[in-house]
Amino acid sequence: MSDSTIYEVARLAGVSIATVSRALRGTGPVSAATREKVLRAVEELRFTPSRLGVSLAEGRHAANGIVFPDLSGPYFGEVLLGYEEVAAELGRSVLILSARDRAGVPETVKDLATRVDGLVVFGQTLPDALLTELAGSGLPMVMLAREAHPGTEAVRSENADSAEALAVHLIAHGHRAFALAGGHDEGDVSQRWTAVARTLGRHGIAAPRPVECPYTVEGGYEAGLELLGSGPDVVMCADDQVALGVILAAEELGLSVPGDVAVTGWDDIMAARHSRPALTTVRQPLRELGAAAARLLDELIAGAEPTDTTRVLATDLVIRASCGVHPVHPPEEP
Amino acid sequence: MSDSTIYEVARLAGVSIATVSRALRGTGPVSAATREKVLRAVEELRFTPSRLGVSLAEGRHAANGIVFPDLSGPYFGEVLLGYEEVAAELGRSVLILSARDRAGVPETVKDLATRVDGLVVFGQTLPDALLTELAGSGLPMVMLAREAHPGTEAVRSENADSAEALAVHLIAHGHRAFALAGGHDEGDVSQRWTAVARTLGRHGIAAPRPVECPYTVEGGYEAGLELLGSGPDVVMCADDQVALGVILAAEELGLSVPGDVAVTGWDDIMAARHSRPALTTVRQPLRELGAAAARLLDELIAGAEPTDTTRVLATDLVIRASCGVHPVHPPEEP
DNA sequence: CTCTGGGCTGTAAGCGCTTCCACTGCCCGT
DNA sequence: ACGGGCAGTGGAAGCGCTTACAGCCCAGAG
């Protein structure tokens, strides 16, 4: 952008750059006549202050970053949207970074860190050592979809209670042979599996070991082919994409859902509602998750001390057809 | 980020900042011993050069922006992912801006423009006057999902041919009473409707006026309630979300899809494949769209002159159940 | 033994802006 | 009539870095 600088504006207006700056930001006294001259010059030159100069002088970026894993799908998009919206309201630009190539990630993230006033980090995207280093350097950070790391804040949605409620519901359906699809290494998911295991245990049901798979439709399909061989009553999945994949696998194997096997997801992505059968799942407040992170980050940037606290957002159990047919099934609002 | 500066590194290493800079970037000769000292100091201070300083001195940001409309849904997320991936490969950070609140958009975009080396702009997100001003200021720009604006490059996916193919397919199904859901004001969509109208005309079928609606499930639902009253054979929708909404509306009205009315979408979002019935649609190469935009932008930033050219990416007609039952319907790969 | 040419370093001039400080008038109180 | 105060303004010092440009020293050439 071959933009004009504050010097050209000052020259054209016949004043000093200090006056231009004051006139534009409304800091310090400027006579009406002078302001007028400055504004005219700004108009004529189509001057917009260089963010670089402003940031360097102000010592702040008016921008913050968000780093998320490679995963595609609707989940991150939604959270990102909520995040960007609030950040924009707070006058901050948003830098995104997808930590896909493990190789250069630490450098890339550190570079990102010098472009922003604060950072939101998704789940287990970054190694703990790096988080510690970043937090230690005084970078305001908010963790998303996991517990707070020392020196940060965190927001996640509720896991254990909803998982228990879902398990209880499935048990009430008469399901006894459970299968779990989707690894348990990630913070959020492992909390759910733990709660499920506890709940099943209380009912005298043995908790299965989750079958690891990528959180994609393809991953779910593969896991489904493997799982369904043992003839479970129900497959609980780490997220909706996995569940959709499992349903495809069931179809492939000639099994009816929920007739032969029930399937549940997590997240309530758009496809969950439109799938056949419609997916029983747990709705996460994705936009709110992003929005809350943006607000927390803003507080930290404003000077609040990190409290290592994890905020928990409520979820909704969404009962649809995939977990077993219900006597009454009121239509959803569009 | 209370990071250390190059001065502290220089002092600790006992050299000048110029030497530190040279040692770190490998520009200019530095003795092995000195380099060693510098690296040790960098290590000890955990020094990462401030992007602000570097950019100001280099006169480049190593970052580019992307601005998209308010719309949520899977579409933008996918494109964004493709964009970010390539941008990262090219060593550029990505700033995102959602142009939702019409009020401050010009200022916000201009501010964004001073943070980046180039900009990708989605569809009709920004008024033409603003595009002209930005392009006129020498900002490298790539338009996405629309024709090139003077002074820019553009990438979109193919519209007319696929729309015609889809219309021909529907006619072959025996459908005659067509309805169109989703406004025609946007560049991409209007190209499709034009092609559909032409095709229908060739078959002596009157082309209907598209019913305007937001490109969301809700919008499609409302439009569906309105459209389905006149008993069309088939509803062609501006995108998959609208189509899913129309299907819900049909369900609400007790109509079977595709028995009573066929429905088609556009984009092939994830939900299209899992919906009941599975949606006949046109697959857009979303990631590639974003990736191509990133590469084009990089060329412009590297100094290429804008050619006002629009690249067109091929699409795939995806025939599923929603347009009418087919004798043979091979299962899709997961 | 002097001269020359590199190799290696440091000095300093920006890059575009904000803001502290100093300075000039001018109005007002006394 | 005179000093104080303040609105209005310009000068200049950074903010953290890159990069000419210049200087130094030493080896090899003549």
Query: Model confidence at A325, in pLDDT bands (50, 70, 90)?
Result: confident
Is B157 strand, coil or helix?
strand
Q: Report CA A287 to chain centroid distance, whole Å.
A: 8
Which residue of chain B has the CA closest to A70? B81
Contact call for A245 and B271, based on CB within 8 A = no
Residue type, B29: P
* Terminal-to-terminal C-alpha distance of chain A: 45
Angle at B36 between CA B32 and CA B38, to 5 degrees: 120
CA of A88 to C1' of D1 (A): 59
Looking at per-residue pLDDT, the higher value among A78 and A103 belongs to A78
* Integer Cα distance of B13 and B42 in angstroms: 9
Residues lining strand C, beta carbon within 7 angstroms? A 5-7, 17-18, 20-22, 24-25, 27, 47, 49-50, 52-54, 56-58; B 14-19, 22, 28-31, 33-34, 53, 56-57, 59
Strands (E), chain A: 63-68, 93-98, 118-122, 141-144, 153-157, 178-181, 234-237, 262-264, 281-283, 310-313, 316-318
Alpha carbon distances (Å) from A329 to A93, A260, A263, A323, B259:
44, 20, 17, 12, 23
Query: Model confidence at A91, in pLDDT bands (50, 70, 90)?
Result: very high
Q: Does B45 touch chain A (CB under 8 A)?
A: no
Query: Model confidence at A327, in pLDDT bands (50, 70, 90)?
Result: low
Query: Is omega for the bond preceding B74 within 30 degrees of 0, making it cis?
Result: no
From chain B, pick out residues whose CB is under 8 angstroms from the CB of A218. Answer: 334
Question: Tokens standing for B41?
Answer: 């100091």
CA of A8 to C1' of C28 (A): 38
From chain B, pick out residues whose CB is under 8 angstroms from the CB of A269. Answer: 270-271
Q: Does B276 touch chain A (CB under 8 A)?
A: yes
Identify the bridge partners of residue B234 per DSSP, sorted by sequence position: B178, B262
From chain B, pick out residues whose CB is under 8 angstroms from the CB of A95. Answer: 63, 93-96
Nearest nucleotide to A18 (CA to C1') is D10
Cβ contacts of residue B334 below 8 Å, gap of 6+?
Answer: A217, A218, A221, A222, A245, A248, A249, A252
Block means of pLDDT (10 residues each) for chain B, 334 residues, are: 84 94 93 94 95 95 92 81 93 92 85 96 91 94 94 96 96 94 81 95 92 91 94 94 94 92 94 90 95 97 95 96 72 60
Question: Tokens standing for A27?
Answer: 């800091």
A98 pLDDT more than 60: yes
Closest CA to B155 of B74, B64, B82: B82
For residue B124, give how far its alpha carbon lies from the nearest alpha carbon of chain A (Å): 19
Mean pLDDT of chain A: 92
List the single residue in A85, A275, A334 with the smallest CB-CB distance to B100.
A85
From chain A, pick out residues whose CB is under 8 angstroms from the CB of B101. Answer: 88
Pick the residue of A3, A109, A274 with the most B CBs within 10 A to test the interface with B by mutation. Answer: A274
A209-228 mean pLDDT: 92
Position B312 scores a pLDDT of 97
Provide the Cα torsion A271, A274, A275, A277; round to 10°: 140
Position B186 scores a pLDDT of 67
Contact call for A276 and B275, based on CB within 8 A = yes
Cβ contacts of residue B154 below 8 Å, gap of 6+?
Answer: B142, B143, B144, B146, B147, B148, B309, B310, B311
Largest CA distance in chain A: 85
**Which residue reads 């820019």 in tokens?**
B152
Closest CA to A244 of B331, B271, B279: B271
* Integer Cα distance of A87 and A80 in angstroms: 10
Q: Report CA B166 to chain centroid distance, whole Å.
A: 23
A211-228 mean pLDDT: 92
Position A80 scores a pLDDT of 92
Query: Model confidence at A152, in pLDDT bands (50, 70, 90)?
Result: very high
What are A205-215's pLDDT values in tens digits? 988 999 999 98
Nearest nucleotide to A22 (CA to C1') is C18
Which residue of chain B has the CA closest to A87? B97
Element spanning A288, H or E:
helix A286-301
Instruction: Tell me the residue length of chain B.
Output: 334
Position B1 scores a pLDDT of 47
List the single residue in A77, A84, A244 with the smallest CB-CB distance to B274.
A244
Q: Does B46 touch chain A (CB under 8 A)?
A: yes
Q: Does A81 touch chain B (CB under 8 A)?
A: yes
Contact call for B114 and A244, based on CB within 8 A = no
From chain B, pick out residues whose CB is under 8 angstroms from the CB of A61. Answer: 52
Position B227 scores a pLDDT of 93
List the single residue in A56, A95, A334 with the smallest CB-CB distance to B93.
A95
Contact call for B245 and A51, based on CB within 8 A = no
Nearest nucleotide to A8 (CA to C1') is C16
Which residue of chain B has the CA closest to A71? B81
Position B333 scores a pLDDT of 60
Position B99 scores a pLDDT of 87
Q: Which domains does chain B have, with CATH numbers?
A: 6-49 (1.10.260.40), 63-157+286-314 (3.40.50.2300), 160-284+318-323 (3.40.50.2300)
Residue type, B27: T
Cβ contacts of residue A248 below 8 Å, gap of 6+?
Answer: A217, A220, A221, A224, B334
Q: Does B69 touch chain A (CB under 8 A)?
A: no
Provide the Cα torsion A145, A148, A152, A154; round to 10°: 40
Pairing label, strands B234-237, B178-181? parallel
Looking at per-residue pLDDT, the higher value among A329 and A161 belongs to A161
Q: Give me the total of CB pairs closer than 8 Å, taking one residue from chain A and one from chain B.
A: 182
From chain B, pick out residues whose CB is under 8 angstroms from the CB of A243. Answer: none
Identify the bridge partners of residue B313 per DSSP, sorted by sequence position: B157
